[in-house]
Structure 1
């Protein structure tokens, strides 16, 4: 008789996902997620499962991600800062092994798609709670106007490992995973609301817009109106309470609103168009000279804020083509299974068009887990149960 419970070799992975949001800071000598030791242990524990069930993995879901990892490792050798690039490359290797291990766990019946979706959503909810608490404490200490204006890396709103835009991108992965749940429980909805609140508090325009689009997929119109009304009321009560009882000074809030609604900044994508043109000019002069993995910040001082352009200029056209084949294969198998989940996948792809969050340990890990979730979801006609282990 099958029982749905977590097998022992997946416990390391779960602990890693729980601790993923927390990390050391640059002041400690470098950024390292507290979940790293557990992910390494999980990676080693997955190897026997991968060895046993690897032959059942669809070749597309091994070949393309393998080439993707290969190009990252090769292009790390051409980078401006080999040490910093190698750390990110290493996390991609770990993420890739976790990805294969999770897929083989689906095939072996030891892990269900529904369970992995909840693990990813729970990880996102923990990150959202961490970010919200940090937002509140920083606002009480420094004032809300300073926090909302310092959304950059190292600013009052950021976490040790990333700025608000990147945090919102990690949260968006968990929010889209909510679509996969067949039996949505109250606790699932609570975690989704927490993730939603976290994304809104990042004040990331692109991610807030994509989340709003996601609402139309998750909720029916009547539910959407209720959720919108309740969320708006809760936000109003929250800010009123913090102004009256916590002494928040909102005098600088109008400056922030102006900066986020300025027409010139919106037209240029807050400077994204200019930095994109800079990369295009470089490609025109050096079409076959990639600068190396994670080198944009050192070469241009600003990244392209676009996953595809960043991959093109750092790793060559080959990396773009491999990523396209990989993501197309994942999207195709999801499209055949469920159109709503496929639409959620498109939301993640759209997010990568306006940001390049794939250099943080949190996004790298969550993204590989998200891809494994989609492959497992799209490759099975029904969710697989978990085998009873003695």
Structure 2
């Protein structure tokens, strides 16, 4: 049995992570995660801890993220919609302070790497449960054919704060975090399966493929068969229920499968190549004129669906270099500690090549926590923290 004693400011952080998935909707006047007040309290309480243990932090893991944040703030001033850009910039600032506070909490042994990993996994599990329940209710209300076709922002499958692809990206962070756990418990395994089901129900091809690759890293062959059987069984029960009791028309499913396996769409990345080419053409004509943070949707109507191209167009080549430096040092410290976890980090980097989910409050927060977790994991020879056997 494990006894855990957390400082109060960490309790606020944990509550914030568990509530992160839930939010207000645009119809309420704007999207705001229910975890935000808890993150603000936690952020303010982190400041003394950061001040005390800041000197023990590796300069690389402070300087590069600081420059990253400064560039976001500066480029917000050039954005097409300063208010919407500022909201996202503020959440990045909050995430940055949480990132520093979590690292200092591990350095001060107030928090363990294993506990932080579980917080992120359980946060993802809460999101998965929310998404699955919403999927079920919307399918019952509107018909599953409409739900699986309306995967876009504001569609029947989406949550108030994001479309299915973005939801899958947040869930993927939690799934990769499972690699860090040393003593995997039954509840951890259950949460991982729940997150996996959530990713599958988003019908995001790229994220499902990356999840499948993750399975081969996490599990041995026998375990892989068990996980596949559990996830497959849950999905089979769900769809059988929808067919028998909800009157799901199989012809609608056939149309959906055809749309997801169309060769022409797969070759063009479902239109991603076209929108990517549009950004390249802009850069050729305006190489030194970034359009401002979170401005792609206003300038081009569609984002690049690529984190790096979006950053390049919106924030300049300097932002790309700073981000590359930051991610390089994070990846290097993880690589030296554990190759499997490093592969998980590469999975997240690959996901960013086909999406740009970094504008939602949920992904911003989870990503900063994920980066803090990786730095703490890679920087410690063995887990440090407050957990002890009783």
* 2:196–2:231 Cα contact (<8 Å) kept: no
Q: Go from structure 1 to structure 2 and tell me whether the alpha carbon gap of 1:387 and 1:134 turns closer, same or farther (over 3 Å shift).
A: closer
Match of 1:188 in 2: 188
* 2:197–2:235 Cα contact (<8 Å) kept: no
Q: How many Å separate the matches in 2 of 1:161 and 1:4?
A: 33
Instruction: Within 5 Å, give how 1:256-271 maps onto structure 2.
Output: 256-271=256-271
Match of 1:303 in 2: 303
Match of 1:170 in 2: 170
* 1:3–1:385 Cα contact (<8 Å) kept: no
Unaligned runs of 5+ in 1: none
Residue by residue over 1:159-209, the C-alpha shift from the partner in whole angstroms, topping out at 9 and shown as x without a partner, is 000000000000000000000000000000000000000000000000000
Q: How many Å separate the matches in 2 of 1:127 and 1:237?
A: 21
Q: Go from structure 1 to structure 2 and tell me whether the alpha carbon gap of 1:201 and 1:387 turns closer, same or farther (over 3 Å shift).
A: closer
Q: How many Å separate the matches in 1 of 2:26 and 2:360?
A: 13
Q: Go from structure 1 to structure 2 and tell me whether the alpha carbon gap of 1:3 and 1:149 turns closer, same or farther (over 3 Å shift).
A: closer
Q: How many Å separate the matches in 1 of 2:231 and 2:19?
A: 28
Unaligned runs of 5+ in 2: none
Match of 2:23 in 1: 23
Q: How many Å separate the matches in 2 of 1:195 and 1:353?
A: 21
* 1:210–1:351 Cα contact (<8 Å) kept: yes
Instruction: Within 5 Å, give how 1:91-110 maps onto structure 2.
Output: 91-110=91-110
Deviation at 1:386, TM superposition (A): 1.7
Residue by residue over 1:300-349, the C-alpha shift from the partner in whole angstroms, topping out at 9 and shown as x without a partner, is 00000000000000000000000000000000000000000000000000
Q: How many Å separate the matches in 2 of 1:271 and 1:180?
A: 35
Deviation at 1:43, TM superposition (A): 0.3
Deviation at 1:235, TM superposition (A): 2.1
Q: Secondary structure at the match of 2:95?
A: helix
Moved more, 159-168 or 11-20: 11-20
Q: How many Å separate the matches in 2 of 1:357 and 1:9?
A: 28
Deviation at 1:244, TM superposition (A): 1.1
Q: How many Å separate the matches in 1 of 2:118 and 2:230?
A: 24
Match of 1:82 in 2: 82
Q: TM-score, normalised by structure 2?
A: 0.98
Q: How many Å separate the matches in 1 of 2:258 and 2:322?
A: 41
Match of 1:141 in 2: 141
Question: What is the total number of aligned residue pairs between the two structures?
Answer: 387
Deviation at 1:229, TM superposition (A): 3.0
Match of 1:53 in 2: 53
Deviation at 1:387, TM superposition (A): 8.4
Q: How many Å separate the matches in 2 of 1:383 and 1:323?
A: 27
Q: TM-score, normalised by structure 1?
A: 0.98
Following TM superposition, the consecutive aligned residue runs of length 4 or more in structure 1 with deviations greater than 4 angstroms are none
Q: How many Å separate the matches in 2 of 1:46 and 1:226?
A: 41
Deviation at 1:9, TM superposition (A): 1.7
Match of 1:337 in 2: 337
Q: How many Å separate the matches in 2 of 1:181 and 1:271?
A: 38
Instruction: Within 5 Å, give how 1:37-48 maps onto structure 2.
Output: 37-48=37-48
Deviation at 1:3, TM superposition (A): 5.8
Q: Secondary structure at the match of 2:250?
A: coil
Q: Secondary structure at the match of 1:251?
A: helix
